[in-house]
């Protein structure tokens, strides 16, 4: 066992003395050491229940013959960080989380690990560390929040952001905003739509690194506690059989993840994170390849922000297993991928499997059949053209039909704050393409999410009349013609840096195109007049981050 290096042999007496000080017994010292790395805290709603899950995981590990040890890492709440300088730290925290998990696991020589996570950057950061460490490992997330209610209307976090836009336009009162903000997030869990946190929790299932049910079992359900206990037990089976992340995180597993992502209309941020996880796993994925998945995968499930349905509706309609079952029937899954159940994807989906969803509960109002999809193509699209030579990402499932193809004049802003002020002041025209630049991985730095401007537009009823493009990111809660991740970014002197007010931008989502009516020569001439880019922060982690981070098209990972 790996842990023998800290507990076996005469020379390890000092190490053992410290372990004895923890109150461990002889029997516990003889067992495998299992690290439980959690992001529990009481500032992020998706994490406030993780201490309960940590305890259940401990019980599961102990029941199955392991000795559990807990440690923690950090977490940022994107909703609380949104719209101010705090959001610069959100994506940047992913690398800190991966490094901190690697550090504590290697320093203490755990034999296996269980990762207990929730929310947008924390889950992918932990999975990146899982791939890097390559010891038996499994993840369990905190679960989705239930939707809020206001009479017969369902609400989620995006409802509060949109309420601000509606109030700004005088459509609702300040009192109504207060009612919505107190009702839309009713308790613990990751915000209730198919936003980034829940997208990544669901994709952990599709990748095979979390137990079935992980993505959709509500945070407040007793089944979430049982799932955590089962996760603790399952890691001991992985250790016994020496099933490692490198056995699970294969090219075929990423095939399944991208196929599931397209079918469920996941967050655009999933592209960024899956690329980063694949990088750590040594799996080569080119961004243009993703349009193959989009073109060949039907869109089967439409949840908030693309509809009024929420994650709980998917849970009670078979969950991610129901979506994967439909994909399997269409021949779109790699069935032989091993998963943390110890079985293959195909075996997990058979009706006889303990892990199979209850197929009798599947509602076709929530999970469409393969022959009656919402659309024949997937919910995400990668756009290319002279404005995004290395690609841009859009959640096409949440774009109004009228904006799938659109040409309009650019209205250019060099920060999210400047764009937000202009939107509040209605300092733009219908048909404009609002451009927010210098918000990319280097330029922000940190590639902030743009939920504030997109939700303002949605709340004003303009998300079908105005497009928005950025080298930053959008929240999974964003909807409308919101195109992000433009690469190369403005700070790297990509074509977006050359844009001026009035330049005609053409968006063609069906044909995966994003172009500006400028010649390559004119773009190059404009960029040549720009001064060298300097990071906007003078010290600290963000300064180092800006110097090390790579393009969004490669997952915004650090340079090797």
- Residue 506 catalytic? no
Instruction: Point out the catalytic residue in the list 475, 478, 551, 553.
Output: 475
Separation of alpha carbons 446 and 78, rounded Å: 12
Q: Which residue has the tokens 């992020």?
A: 44
Predicted pLDDT at 455: 85
Predicted pLDDT at 538: 83
Predicted pLDDT at 398: 86
Question: Considering all CA atoms of the chain, what is the largest pairwise distance in Å, rounded to the nearest integer?
Answer: 77
Separation of alpha carbons 228 and 273, rounded Å: 24
Predicted pLDDT at 511: 95
DSSP letters for 189-221: SB-SSS-HHHHHHHHHHHHTSS-TTTTTS-TTS
Separation of alpha carbons 37 and 115, rounded Å: 5
Q: What angle do CA 99, 102, 103 make, to 5 degrees?
A: 85
Cβ proximity of 517 and 526 under 8 Å: no
Predicted pLDDT at 29: 97
pLDDT, averaged per 10 consecutive residues of the chain (560 residues), comes to: 96 96 97 98 97 98 98 96 92 98 98 96 98 98 98 94 89 96 97 96 98 98 98 98 98 98 95 97 94 95 94 98 98 98 98 95 96 94 97 92 96 96 93 97 94 87 93 85 96 98 97 97 97 88 95 93
Half-sphere exposure of residue 224, counting CA atoms within 13 Å on the CB side? 27
Structure tokens at 116: 């207990």
If DSSP codes are grouped into helix, strand and coil, which group holds residue 533?
coil
Distances 24 to 33, 51, 60, 331 between C-alpha atoms, Å: 11, 21, 17, 50
DSSP type of residue 325? H
Would you mind telling me the total number of residues written for the chain in this entry? 560
Predicted pLDDT at 397: 86
E strand or H helix at 118, and its extent?
none
Cβ proximity of 231 and 57 under 8 Å: yes
Structure tokens at 478: 């964003």
Predicted pLDDT at 535: 83
Q: What angle do CA 456, 459, 465 make, to 5 degrees?
A: 85
pLDDT single digits (tens) 121-169: 999 999 999 999 999 999 999 999 999 999 999 999 999 988 998 998 8
Phi (first) and psi of residue 142, to 5 degrees: -75, -15
Predicted pLDDT at 83: 85
Separation of alpha carbons 142 and 212, rounded Å: 14
Separation of alpha carbons 525 and 521, rounded Å: 6
DSSP letters for 403-444: GSEEEEEEEEESSHHHHHHHHHTT-S-TT-EEEE-S-STTTT
**Cis preceding-peptide flag for 305 (omega within 30 of 0):** yes
Structure tokens at 337: 């991928």
Separation of alpha carbons 306 and 308, rounded Å: 7
SS (H, E, C) 11-74: HHHHHHHHHHCCCCCHHHHHCCEEEEEECCCCCCCCCCCHHHHHHHHHHHHHHCCCEEEEEECC
Q: What angle do CA 414, 418, 424 make, to 5 degrees?
A: 145
Cβ proximity of 466 and 430 under 8 Å: yes
Cβ atoms within 10 A of the Cβ of 52, count? Answer: 16
């Amino acid at each position: 066992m790996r842990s023998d290096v800290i507990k076996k042999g005469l020379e390890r007496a000092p190490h053992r003395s410290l372990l004895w000080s923890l109150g461990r017994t002889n029997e516990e010292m003889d067992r495998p050491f299992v690290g439980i790395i959690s992001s529990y805290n009481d500032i992020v709603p998706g994490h406030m229940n993780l201490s309960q899950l940590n305890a259940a995981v401990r019980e599961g590990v102990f029941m199955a013959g392991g000795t559990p040890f807990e440690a923690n890492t950090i977490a940022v709440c994107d909703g609380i960080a949104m719209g101010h300088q705090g959001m610069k730290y959100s994506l940047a925290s992913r690398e800190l989380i991966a490094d901190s998990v690697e550090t504590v696991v290697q320093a203490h020589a755990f034999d296996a690990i269980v990762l207990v996570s929730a929310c947008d950057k924390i889950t992918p950061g932990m999975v990146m560390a899982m791939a890097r460490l390559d010891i038996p490992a499994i993840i369990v997330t905190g679960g989705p929040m239930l939707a809020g209610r206001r009479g017969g209307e369902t609400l989620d976090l995006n409802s509060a952001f949109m309420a601000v836009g509606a109030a700004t336009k005088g459509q609702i009162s300040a009192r109504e905003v207060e009612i919505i903000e107190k009702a839309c997030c009713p308790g613990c869990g990751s915000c209730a739509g198919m936003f980034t946190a829940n997208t990544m929790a669901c994709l952990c299932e599709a990748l095979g690194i979390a137990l079935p049910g992980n993505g959709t079992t509500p945070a407040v359900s007793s089944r979430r506690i049982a799932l955590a206990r089962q996760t603790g037990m399952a890691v001991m089976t992985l250790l016994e059989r020496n099933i490692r992340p490198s056995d699970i995180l294969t090219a075929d597993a990423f095939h399944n993840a991208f196929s599931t992502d397209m079918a469920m209309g996941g967050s655009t941020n999933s592209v960024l994170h899956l690329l980063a996880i694949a990088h750590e796993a040594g799996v080569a994925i080119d961004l243009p390849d993703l349009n193959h998945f989009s073109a060949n995968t039907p869109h089967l499930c439409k949840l908030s922000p693309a509809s009024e349905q929420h994650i709980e509706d998917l849970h009670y309609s078979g969950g991610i297993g129901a979506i994967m079952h439909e994909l399997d029937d269409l021949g779109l899954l790699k069935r032989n991928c091993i998963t943390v159940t110890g079985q293959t994807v195909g075996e997990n989906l058979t009706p006889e499997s303990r892990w199979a969803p209850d197929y009798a509960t599947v509602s076709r109002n929530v999970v469409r059949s393969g022959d009656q999809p919402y659309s024949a193509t997937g919910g995400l699209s990668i756009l290319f053209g002279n404005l995004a030579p290395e690609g841009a990402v859009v959640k096409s499932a949440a774009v109004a039909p009228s904006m799938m193809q659109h040409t309009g004049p650019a209205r250019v802003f060099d920060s999210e704050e400047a764009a937000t002020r202009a939107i509040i002041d209605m300092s733009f025209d219908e048909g404009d393409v609002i451009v927010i630049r210098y918000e990319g991985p280097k330029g922000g730095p940190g590639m902030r999410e743009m939920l504030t401007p997109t939700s303002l537009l949605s709340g004003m009823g303009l998300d079908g009349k105005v497009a928005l493009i950025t080298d930053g990111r959008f929240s999974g809660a964003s909807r409308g013609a919101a195109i992000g991740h433009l690469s190369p970014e403005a700070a790297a002197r990509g074509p977006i840096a050359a844009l001026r007010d009035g330049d005609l931008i053409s968006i063609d989502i069906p044909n995966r195109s994003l172009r500006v009516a400028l010649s390559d020569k004119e773009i190059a001439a404009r960029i040549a007049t720009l001064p060298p880019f300097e990071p906007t922060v003078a010290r600290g982690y963000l300064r180092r981050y800006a110097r090390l981070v790579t393009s969004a098209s490669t997952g915004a990972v650090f340079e090797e």
